[in-house]
Amino acid sequence: SAVDVYYPTLLRQHLAQVITIKQRNFLPNDDITKDFLKDFRLRLEDSLRLISDAEPSQVLSDLFVEHLKGKTLSNSQGVAVSVQILGVEDAWNKLATHIGQPKEALKRQFDALVSRRNDIVHRGDRSSRDPAGPVQAIGYAWADNHIHAARSVVQASDELVQAQMLALTPPPDEAHG
């Protein structure tokens, strides 16, 4: 559940800056991001706000974050889209390299935790394959290991995005301080 809050917060914190710097090229061109955002639409009043607001990058950022509230950012696709929008290309490869784990194993572990969390929250800890079935057993070691993987993904996301924000920010003009 904390991951559900983290990625929208990360976007809220940095997206306006990315839009300001990259302008119309701020969106990644990969198929995952395109598919994830295919239903994003601006209403006429939103378009007029973009045209007239003193900070159009912030307006567009807010509209994106609002749209993403209806999406799941706490699965492997949502994580990838979130960090890629913030400029970290090839997100899961970079996350896995940063953490020092194989990409597919890390994604599998992350998605297994998300799936189990959904079983607990939405079905009283019954499997999505058998929602009327028995409560699933869970071991401390499994939970601790998978939570550690999710924590590592979040920490790596934060570190990679922070590095990207530093790379996007022009160095201060030495004459001005």
- HEC secondary structure over 45-102: HHHHHHHHCCCHHHHHHHHHHHHHCCCCCCCHHHHHHHHHHCCCCCHHHHHHHHHCCC
What is residue 62's predicted lDDT score, i.e. its pLDDT? 94
Q: What is the pLDDT of residue 177?
A: 53
Q: How confident is the model at residue 2 (pLDDT cuts 50, 70, 90)?
A: confident
Task: Please report which confidence band the pLDDT of residue 70 belongs to, taking 50, 70 and 90 as the band edges.
Answer: confident
Q: What percent of the chain has pLDDT over 90?
A: 50
Instruction: Report the predicted TM-score, pTM, of the whole model to 2 decimal places.
Output: 0.82
Question: In terms of C-beta density within 10 A (0-12 exposed, 13-18 middle, 19 or more buried), how is residue 76 classed?
Answer: buried
pLDDT above 70 covers what percent of the chain?
Answer: 93
In this prediction, residue 173 carries a pLDDT of: 65
Report which of residues 99 and 137 the model is more confident about.
Answer: 99
Cβ atoms within 10 Å, residue 103: 17
